[in-house]
Amino acid sequence: MTWFTELLQRPPVTFWDVVDIMIVSIVVYEVLKLIRGTHAVQMGIGIASLVGLFYVSRGLQLETLNWLIRNVVGYVVFAAIVLMQSDIRRALVLIGRAPYFRIFRQLDRQVPDADRIEELVGAAAALAAKRTGALMVIERSIGVRNYIESGIPLDAQLTYDLLVSIFQPTSPLHDGAVVIQNDRVAAAACFLPLTVNPRLGRELGSRHRAAIGLTEENDAVAIVVSEETGVISLVLGGAIERNLDPERLRERLAQLVLRRRGVDTPRPDYSLS
């Protein structure tokens, strides 16, 4: 009864208490939404179980088990950071892309104009007709310098002939991605991170997974041409839109790239199928 009486005599809830609860609720909700569908869910369940077991062992005075958990928990934290580094990196990128951080971004990057878009669409259509695999990445507000440095620097004018030549099977630069930065082909044969999304179908090859992996961490736009089927796909925000014809690809690139500077294009809701 004493405990119940003390519970009823709690101090009144103030305005800042409500604000505090709302902020914590939003943070928890966003974290749960971020890890949904990833292997971080199982990792979180394991950590929660370990924490629960710690309090149970302390309440039941299981000294040996409590000592073991107390000495292991520090290593579990470091192991979780290593195993979940891709999810942590993606979370930090999403935080950096929030609207209130927009002032710190480089929004004056030069993006491909209408003529360069035509060069991209023409090259994608020609490669698709010959079933030649290709992966082209267009930088937007978030830089891709680390991926450019992983490839062969070109700094060449963006043209149809150059793109088609790069992705010919006999070309030493065909294996990897072409990165387009500041309206120019910055580099070729670039290595991109593969996605670990378990919900993707097995029909998606390494090019598609690399495009999805990059756009999960970046706001870049990726164009993928399948070597097996000749299908053109567009990837943005970790989501893929498949079976694009040249006209539809031109329309999507115009929406995503030929935007007014300083205004982000709303993220589309693509299907993974």
* CATH of 114-256 among 2.40.30.10, 3.10.129.10, 3.40.1700.10, 3.40.50.10490: 3.40.1700.10
User: d(Cα 166, Cα 177) in Å, to the nearest integer?
Assistant: 10
Q: What is the pLDDT of residues 142-191, one digit of tens each?
A: 788 888 988 999 989 999 999 999 999 998 898 889 999 888 899 999 99
Burial of 62 from C-beta contacts in 10 A (0-12 / 13-18 / 19+): middle
Q: What percent of the chain has pLDDT over 90?
A: 27
Residue 265: band (very low, low, confident or very high) from pLDDT cuts 50, 70, 90? very low
User: d(Cα 126, Cα 118) in Å, to the nearest integer?
Assistant: 12
pTM over 0.75: no
- Encoded tokens for 64: 């040996």
In this prediction, residue 204 carries a pLDDT of: 83
- Encoded tokens for 164: 């088609």
In this prediction, residue 65 carries a pLDDT of: 82
| Among candidate residues 239, 257, 267, 261, the one with its CA nearest the CA of residue 102 | 261
- Tokens 């989501």 appear where? 239
User: d(Cα 117, Cα 248) in Å, to the nearest integer?
Assistant: 12
- Residue 187 CA from chain centroid, whole number: 21
Residue 264 has pLDDT above 50, yes or no: no
Instruction: Return the DSSP state at 267.
Output: P
In this prediction, residue 69 carries a pLDDT of: 80
- Encoded tokens for 236: 């943005």
If you average pLDDT over residues 222-236, what whole number do you get? 92
User: d(Cα 264, Cα 252) in Å, to the nearest integer?
Assistant: 14
Strand order in the sheet with 152-157: 152-157, 184-190, 177-181, 134-138, 221-225, 232-236, 239-244
**Which residues, including other chains, have CB under 8 Å from residue 101's CB and lie 6 or more apart?**
95
Residue 246 has pLDDT above 70, yes or no: yes
Candidate from 40-49, 140-149, 240-249, 263-272 with smallest mean pLDDT: 263-272
Decide if 176 contacts 215 (C-beta within 8 A): no
Mean of all residue pLDDT scores within the chain: 79
User: d(Cα 223, Cα 203) in Å, to the nearest integer?
Assistant: 17
Domain boundaries along the sequence of the chain: 2-83, 114-256
The bridge status of strand 177-181 relative to strand 134-138 is: parallel
Residue 217's alpha-carbon distances to 52, 60, 65, 243, 247, in angstroms, are 33, 45, 40, 24, 28
Decide if 94 contacts 86 (C-beta within 8 A): no
